[in-house]
Amino acid sequence: MQDLRTVEFRDGNLILLDQTKLPLREEYITTKDYERIALAIERLEVRGAPAIGVAAAYALAIGYSLEPSEESFNKIYKRLEKTRPTAVNLFWALEEMKKVFYQHKHSKELSELLLRKAREILHDDIEKCEAIAKNGLKIFHSKLNVLTHCNAGSLATAGSGTALNVIKKGFENGLVNHVFVDETRPLLQGSRLTAFELEKNGIPFTINTDSTAAFLMKQGKIDCVIVGADRIAANGDTANKIGTYNLAVLANFHRIPFYVAAPTSSIDKNCSDGSEIKIELRDKSEITHIKGIQITKENYDIYSPAFDVTPNSLITAIITEKDFHLPPYNF
């Protein structure tokens, strides 16, 4: 099985796989400029809640090493926290870095301590991905056809992925027959990224438009749905890529299990339910254009939320590195 290196620190630089170019070109961004990393997060050159958190941690460590002052640290922190509002891993990682800074701000080794913490966050994510996949094997009671949405694989993490890693682990154990991949409009993370990962791992798959999911379920071609998460409220309400809520409703109607896989760093215990999750709105050009090609008039009114929230009542189980959580959820 092949995993892609999404985020890597080498020779003082952060190296990011530019996911906007996939699957047609594999290109990397190499930088020690925290502003360039912030832009990479905003542009979705690096994406996926865990990967965003790792990238932000390194951006803060690298930025401080080049401008070592408390004023600089706070400036970089504030810039990074504005990049994307929904994925809680971003804020979790930044807070972890902040703790280190204020615990050791008078240390001569502060720059190295910050880099060490960023490395810990990266390796912690790798370990969590493996534990999630192991716990996720509980969804397989026979060989299944699986539907997934967006991308929750190695491209979305520092490790092997969350939801997609459950699928990969299931396939390794002879428990996955076929994977149906929502193309995931408007930015096509399914058809571009998930398909790319499945191909590299030799897992049989079919890409379908998002609106085809109901018809697949009606035909009995889907045995379960598994997706990732960008933020999970304390009661289990889950924010994920726009279109996820649609799938949960459809799965409920067709009596198909609907699973969420995510690390505990995606759980926001300060958020009591989904109504408190801030939903990021994206630029209208992501709807009016596809890969730079205009498909409708720019003067049309556009509503483009990046995420939606699935209520806990529609989620069969939430899979973390710690457990296979069944309802009622109380994190």
Task: Identify whether the C-beta of residue 311 lies closer than 8 Å to the C-beta of residue 274.
Answer: yes
For helices 88-103 and 49-66, angle between their N-to-C axes, nearest 10 degrees: 30
Establish how many alpha carbons lie within 13 A of residue 283's alpha carbon, considering only the half-sphere containing its beta carbon: 8
- CATH assignment of 7-130, given 1.20.120.420, 3.40.640.10, 3.30.70.120, 3.50.50.60? 1.20.120.420
CA distances from 15 to 83, 115, 160, 200 (A): 18, 15, 17, 21
Q: In the numeric block, which tokens belong to residue 28?
A: 């990397």
SS3 state at 29: strand
Question: Which are the catalytic amino acids?
Answer: 230
Task: Identify whether the C-beta of residue 243 lies closer than 8 Å to the C-beta of residue 235.
Answer: no
Domain segments of the chain as ranges: 7-130, 139-325
- The pLDDT, as a whole number, for residue 93 is 97
Strand arrangement of the beta sheet that strand 324-325 belongs to? 205-208, 176-182, 144-148, 224-227, 258-261, 317-319, 324-325
- The pLDDT, as a whole number, for residue 238 is 98
- What's the distance, Cα to Cα, between the start and end of the chain in Å? 33
Kindly state which CATH superfamily the domain 139-325 is placed in.
Translation initiation factor eif-2b; domain 2 (3.40.50.10470)
Task: Identify whether the C-beta of residue 168 lies closer than 8 Å to the C-beta of residue 1.
Answer: yes
pLDDT tens series, the chain, 331 aa = 556 789 999 999 999 999 999 999 999 999 999 999 999 999 999 999 999 999 999 999 999 999 999 999 999 999 999 999 998 999 999 999 999 999 999 999 999 999 999 999 999 999 999 999 999 999 999 999 999 999 999 999 999 999 999 999 999 999 999 999 999 999 999 999 999 999 999 999 999 999 999 999 999 999 999 999 999 999 999 999 999 999 999 999 999 999 999 999 999 999 999 999 999 999 999 999 998 999 999 999 999 999 999 999 999 999 999 999 999 999 9
* Residue 82 phi, psi dihedral angles, 5° rounding: -90, -5
- The pLDDT, as a whole number, for residue 291 is 87
**Distance between CA 204 and CA 165 in Å, rounded?**
15
Task: Identify whether the C-beta of residue 263 lies closer than 8 Å to the C-beta of residue 230.
Answer: no
Establish how many alpha carbons lie within 13 A of residue 156's alpha carbon, considering only the half-sphere containing its beta carbon: 32
**Distance between CA 139 and CA 163 in Å, rounded?**
11
**Distance between CA 150 and CA 181 in Å, rounded?**
8
**Distance between CA 184 and CA 242 in Å, rounded?**
8
- The pLDDT, as a whole number, for residue 2 is 53
**Distance between CA 143 and CA 78 in Å, rounded?**
47
Helix (H) or strand (E) holding 154: none
- The pLDDT, as a whole number, for residue 87 is 87
Task: Identify whether the C-beta of residue 31 lies closer than 8 Å to the C-beta of residue 14.
Answer: yes
Q: In the numeric block, which tokens belong to residue 77?
A: 């922190």
Task: Identify whether the C-beta of residue 315 lies closer than 8 Å to the C-beta of residue 260.
Answer: yes
The count of other CB atoms within 10 Å of the CB of residue 190 is 25
